[in-house]
Chain A
Amino acid sequence: MLFNRLRITSWLLALLLTIPVLVGLVGTLLPAFHYFPPLGELHFSLASWRALWQNDEFYSSLKLTLITGIIAPVVALWIALSLLAWGYQRAFFQKIEKLLAPILAIPHAAIAIGLLFLLSPSGWLMRLFSPWLTGFDRPPNWITVQDPYGFSLIFALVMKEMPYLLFIMLASLHAIDARKTLEVCQTLGYKRLTIWRKVLIPQLYPIIRMPIFIVIAFSLTVVDLAVVIGPNTPSTLAVTLFHWFNDPELSKRFVASAGAIALMLVIGVVMLGWELAHCALTRLTKAERSNGKRTGFTDYLLRMGVLFGLVTLFSALVSLVILPIWSLTRRWRFPDALPSSWTFDNIKRAYPILIELSSNTLIIAFSATLIACLMSALMLEIKRLTKHSENHPFDWLIYVPILLPQIGFLFGLHILLIQINLNGTLSAIIALHLMYVLPYVYLSLRGPYLAYNEDYLVQANRLTHRPWRNYFVIKLAMLKPALLTAFAIGFSVSIAQYLPTLIAGEGRYSTLTTEAVTQAASGDRKQVGSMALLQAFFPVFVFWLAHVLPPRWTRWRLALYLRLRKCYKQLPIHGQ
């Protein structure tokens, strides 16, 4: 009976995970072959593919996508590995480790906007070195950000992905027993970086393969980052497709759908190529690993990566510092290193719009993440009860939305939203956010949830048999630290969403992210600065809460109860 119900719930959840993915895919695939009832197209044809092959913008965009989408993950992985190999177990590095979570929490658009303010010809970097070094008293006519080769986009991507990879690696290190390996190899006379290169990295790679693939898919398909800091005309394929999908001429949609399918194929091909390259590299280096040399020339690659890594981390910090400066600026003429006069007027003026954007953002993020937490708990409870120790279908189904390109897939889903009359509503936005929040919440909750000592719950039910209440008051309450961390991660993922908000909301609901991205390049820096600042502030604040609250929660709660004398006022005072 119980088992039957479990199986039904399990199937329902799996359906709930698959249906949007399938609908999105079908909704992209059919228009790509010219089948689109809403526009009265009921005949399959290859016309859109022919149009795509003949479109020059497609090729130039694809080239840019391949350049940025392959170089960025390679560089991010290289730098992350270098930093890890160099810094593991060093005191200084432990400070960097603590910085990782907040950096991860900051939406990438906020960092990109900060980077834009830093690197553009009239940016902070140029101001700091002008005119005393460069001689400029007017912004030079250079192209620094949004460069046609996508270098600034690559830099922004690396800034976002490197901390993520580093975070994942640090979390997986216990699985390969790095500390012991280092000790053993050091007694054999190997140098630190060589040990990492020859022994540890080859063991680490298989564990972090999935996160690397997520990073690759993200680099190839990102829209918001590319809009802010990527090249224009041509832009990357994802952005070009985004313009085509939004083209007033509706027939452009067919070509765009074909392009979206092409982008999916590109992701598959790049991942395949990545794996082949990894195999080839392993073959090539295999003999070198056991040649007995205690140091190696290629150690310099790692050492160089450290340098780049520190520069990247430092730029990320500076990019964040510049946001509040701009939002408090009254006058900041070009070569001045800092604003000549400061003011709160920008914030006061932007106050109504900031309040509206913030409340939209927070409502969406809170609802989507709360639902995601409850769903994850339910899915994990099912996984526990059915004793699928290794591969429950949930474990791989959950990855699908984050591996597919948002562009195309989401436009396909949009058609479904129109059919069920949910387009442009808040619930539609929350539902689409949920799709991207759920995987991260599930993955971060999985370990602690499955490791929970079930004896506590069994004992609680033996003391008072109220299974539902005890599940919340005992089990979930004891999992508070893990739940709050998962919530913080989901929350920051939701805040960062750009396309889902735009597509499901049809522009009727703007969030901090959509506004900041839309106005980043053209808008008023003072206002964009405030938006990006708030956008960065909320997730960091929630992360801070998730870090600070759990260890103190019980103590504070009890102190509060005592203060309110809520529970203890009837207590008899015995002979004191």
Chain B
Amino acid sequence: MLSIKNFSLSLADKALIEALNVNIKNGQVVSLMGPSGIGKSSLLNFLSGTLSSGLNAQGEVYLDQVAIHTKTPQERRVGLLQQTPLLFPHMSILENLSFAIPAKVKKCDRLELAYQALERVGIKDKANATPEQLSGGQQARVALQRTLLSEPGFLLLDEPFSKLDPALRREVRVFVLEEIRKANIPALLVTHDAEDAKAMQGPCIDLAAAH
């Protein structure tokens, strides 16, 4: 369970977001909508601990009742999925996946885990391929699997579907929701597209309306 309490954001005396309270249950995806410039990305940066200076953000974040807004980014156990899949082009798909597995996992178990993730994407024949040999939809799914393999405590999705063409987008959305439910972690989706929010079958917060 991820709780955001009393989050407010302002840029040089101009309030962008005021007193936002969100609770996300495990396995649930909450969508956040609103026009660009309203501070959606800043909220994600605030959650992952990489907010740039110049913005004034306040609020508290709890993951399973533990405060994480005081922690460094690497201690927060945050997984982030962006518009571009950012798969490392110089590694095979299998290497990309096993890169994310925590170092404490032993070598043969790593391969087993990576291979299982590959199977969930449905491309186990592409283990030895490089990312450029995959389609856009496959890359997006591998990117999600990679993030999940790093065992994050919660997931942030920054418009991960916006670069896919419409037909693929539907498939990938279903896949993402399923995998998040399987992983049973809270997830926050930022999007422009109302369809995205609907497909996630969770609450939707419209920042523009709240203003």
Contact = CB atoms under 8 A, between A and B. Distances in A.
Interface in B129-149: 130, 146-147
Interface stretch (B30-38, B95-103, B178-186): B95-103
A452 interface: no
B80 A555 contact: no
Given A455-B84, A456-B88, A462-B78, A555 B130 contact: yes
Interface string A163-188: 00000000000000000000000000
Contact of A463 (B89, B108, B147): B147
A567 B146 contact: no
B27 interface: no
A477 B124 CA distance: 25
A570 interface: yes
Interface stretch (B4-12, B111-119, B167-175, B198-206): B111-119
A571 B78 CA distance: 29
Nearest to A575: B124
Contacts of A554: 89-92, 130
Given A478-B90, A553-B90, A459 B99 contact: no
Interface in A46-73: none
Given A554-B130, A567-B111, A572-B115, A460 B102 contact: no
B79 interface: yes
B150 interface: yes
Contacts of B147: 463
A554 B150 CA distance: 24
A461 B84 contact: no
B42 interface: no
B48 interface: yes
Nearest to B147: A463
Interface string A458-480: 11111111100000001001101
Contacts of B73: 462
Nearest to B101: A464
A349 interface: no
Interface string A551-576: 00111001000100001101110100
Contacts of A570: 108, 111-112
Given A568-B111, A572-B112, A464 B86 contact: no
A471 to B, nearest CB: 13
B119 A574 contact: yes
Given A455-B84, A455-B86, A464 B111 contact: no
A289 to B, nearest CB: 46
A571 B111 contact: yes
B82 interface: yes
Contacts of A455: 82, 84, 86
Contacts of A461: 74
Contacts of A464: 99-100, 102-103, 150
B90 A463 contact: no
Contacts of A574: 119, 124
B90 A477 contact: yes
B127 interface: yes
A572 B116 CA distance: 10
B79 A462 contact: yes
Contacts, number: 63
Nearest to B76: A462
Give the dominant DSSP class at A's interface: helix
Most chain A beta carbons < 10 A, residue from B82, B86, B100, B147: B86
B78 A478 contact: no
Contacts of B78: 462
B99 A460 contact: yes
Nearest to A480: B90
B58 interface: no
B128 interface: yes
A306 B209 CA distance: 68
Interface in B39-97: 48, 50, 73-74, 78-80, 82, 84, 86, 88-92, 94
Nearest to B50: A458
A460 B150 contact: no
A549 to B, nearest CB: 12
Contacts of B89: 478, 554
A554 B130 CA distance: 8
Contact of B127 (A463, A480, A568): A568
B45 to A, nearest CB: 11
Contacts of A555: 130
Contacts of B92: 554, 558
B169 to A, nearest CB: 22
A501 to B, nearest CB: 36
Contacts of A571: 111, 115, 127
A456 B86 contact: yes
A555 B86 CA distance: 19
A463 B146 contact: yes
Nearest to A474: B88
Nearest to B131: A554
Interface in A525-562: 553-555, 558, 562
A33 to B, nearest CB: 53
B128 A459 contact: no
B125 to A, nearest CB: 9
Contacts of B128: 558, 562, 568
Contacts of A460: 88, 99
B134 to A, nearest CB: 14
Nearest to A477: B90
A459 B80 contact: yes
A574 B146 CA distance: 21
A465 B86 CA distance: 16
A464 to B, nearest CB: 7
A290 B80 CA distance: 57
A234 to B, nearest CB: 56
A239 B130 CA distance: 55
Interface in B146-174: 146-147, 150
- Those 7 A-B pairs whose CB atoms lie nearest each other, nearest first: A465-B74, A463-B100, A463-B150, A459-B86, A570-B108, A554-B90, A558-B92
23 contacts: A455-B84, A456-B86, A456-B88, A459-B86, A460-B88, A460-B99, A462-B48, A462-B79, A464-B99, A464-B150, A466-B103, A474-B88, A477-B90, A478-B88, A480-B90, A554-B92, A555-B130, A567-B111, A568-B127, A568-B128, A572-B112, A574-B119, A574-B124
Given A456-B86, A478-B89, A574-B119, 4 more contacts: A462-B80, A463-B146, A554-B92, A555-B130
